[in-house]
Homo-oligomer: A and B are copies of this chain.
Amino acid sequence: MLITLDASSQAPLYQQIVDQTKAAILTGALRSGDPLPSLRQLAADLVTSVITTKRAYQDLEGEGLIKTFQGRGTFVAYLGEESLDRIRQSEAQTRLRDLVSHFLRLGLDADTLTRLFARALAEEVDRK
């Protein structure tokens, strides 16, 4: 598990940590019960401040993805594979709905959108 921060990104540092950690949990790179790096260790690794790592872990805990215990450390929460899949699918559904709604409003028709989706899927599947 490796996090890289992009200082030139629009996204705040803590958000980048959140996003990458979340992705690691959803892909299974981090599994239930796995320990996360300590706040101070992560801050040192990323050359950032403890406040920033703390804020990221706080948000992740708010989402229920990790649990922190004073004096003991921070760990990936216990989530069944079904829960993970439910999260993945519901996020995908929400984003797809927003995207489709947006471009239908802009005048693209259903056929065109379907064609663009198929092309995107084909390209990305190939890249893997």
Residues of B within 8 A of A92 (CB): 99, 103, 108, 112-113, 116
**Taking A12-B70, A70-B12, A89-B112 as contacts, is the C-beta distance between A120 and B97 under 8 angstroms?**
yes
Q: Is the CB of A28 within 8 A of B107?
A: yes
What 1/0 mask marks residues of chain A from 1 to 16 whose CB sits below 8 Å from any chain B CB? 0000001101010000
Number of copies: 4
Main SS class of interface, A:
helix
Apart from A12-B71, A99-B99: 12 A-B pairs, beta carbons within 8 A: A23-B105, A27-B105, A27-B107, A28-B107, A84-B107, A89-B108, A89-B116, A96-B99, A96-B116, A97-B124, A100-B117, A104-B125
